[in-house]
């Protein structure tokens, strides 16, 4: 978190993290479209729409005394570019961990989760995290339940951790997850979610 005293702005870094193809880019796009800011999002993608390095965008909110500036990133899920993920996470203030809630993806999700734990060590327990169980719109498939995912991680060690079901492709639960993360980072804040330019 960076305090810019001159401009009375607090700069906060949020990263969407998770396994390949879980819906990180879709979540960030959906979040930005909630504020009509989709066009301001920068994505570094391959020709088939896979994230090469990250997606990046800025959301600014006006406060009474201080303004908030959120730098929002999504890390690449492709293991070929895994070496770029620590840089994307550097200085992060809050993480949205996007899970692919298809049951067969459990291992895939846990591999990514374990990577995150390994990168931060014990520090991970102090970072606010919202787990988004994404693709909850898929009806024909067997889906991961919250309890199931929780039982696979050391849930109680985390100071601020919450789970939300999302369907990023329909924009469902995306803003709710983001708001929860902001509440974790700024517990005293009642945020008026209206962006400023």
Q: Which is nearer to ligand GTP, 61 or 97 (CB)?
A: 97
Return d(Cα 159, Cα 19) in angstroms, integer: 23
Return d(Cα 171, Cα 28) in angstroms, integer: 10
Question: Residues 137, 142, 157, 189: which binds ligand GTP (CB under 6 A)?
Answer: 137
Return d(Cα 90, Cα 100) in angstroms, integer: 24
According to the binding rule CB under 6 A, does residue 22 interact with ligand GTP?
yes
Q: Of the candidates 195, 194, 176, which has an alpha carbon nearest to the alpha carbon of residue 57?
A: 195
Separation in Å, CA 8 to CA 60, 66, 79, 197:
12, 5, 39, 15
Binding mask 36-65 for ligand GTP (x = CB under 6 A): --------------xx--------------
Q: Which is nearer to ligand GTP, 13 or 85 (CB)?
A: 85
| 92: phi then psi, degrees, rounded to nearest 5 | -70, 140
Q: Which is nearer to Mg ion, 10 or 72 (CB)?
A: 72
According to the binding rule CB under 6 A, does residue 21 interact with ligand GTP?
yes
Per-residue DSSP letter, 175: H
Q: Which is nearer to ligand GTP, 11 or 22 (CB)?
A: 22
Which range in 63-71, 108-116, 117-125, 161-169 contacts ligand GTP by CB under 6 A?
Answer: 161-169
According to the binding rule CB under 5 A, does residue 101 interact with Mg ion?
no
According to the binding rule CB under 6 A, does residue 71 interact with ligand GTP?
no
Instruction: Considering only the C-alpha atoms of the chain, give the largest distance between any 2 of them, rounded to a whole number of Å.
Output: 54
According to the binding rule CB under 6 A, does residue 88 interact with ligand GTP?
no
Per-residue DSSP letter, 178: H
| Half-sphere exposure for 64 (CA within 13 Å, toward CB) | 3
| Interface positions with Mg ion (CB under 5 A) | 24-25, 51
| Interface positions with ligand GTP (CB under 6 A) | 20-26, 50-51, 74, 76-78, 134-135, 137-138, 167-169
């Amino acid at each position: 978190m960076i305090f810019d005293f001159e401009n009375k702005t607090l700069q906060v870094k949020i990263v969407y993290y998770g396994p390949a193809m879980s819906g990180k880019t879709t979540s960030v796009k959906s979040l930005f479209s909630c504020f009509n800011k989709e066009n301001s999002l920068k994505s570094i993608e391959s020709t088939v729409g896979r994230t090469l390095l990250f997606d990046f965008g800025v959301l600014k909110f006006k406060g009474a005394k201080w303004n908030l500036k959120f730098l929002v990133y999504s890390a690449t899920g492709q293991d070929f570019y895994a070496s770029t993920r620590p840089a994307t996470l550097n200085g992060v203030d809050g993480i949205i961990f996007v899970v692919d809630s298809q049951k067969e993806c459990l291992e895939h999700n846990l591999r990514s989760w374990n990577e995150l734990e390994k990168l931060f060590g014990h520090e991970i327990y102090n970072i606010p995290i919202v787990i988004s169980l994404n693709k909850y719109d898929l009806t024909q498939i067997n889906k991961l339940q919250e309890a199931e995912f929780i039982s696979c991680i050391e849930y109680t060690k985390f100071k601020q951790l919450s789970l939300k079901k999302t369907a990023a492709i329909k924009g469902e639960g995306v803003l709710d997850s983001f708001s929860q993360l902001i509440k974790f980072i700024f517990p005293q804040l009642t945020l008026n979610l209206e962006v400023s330019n």
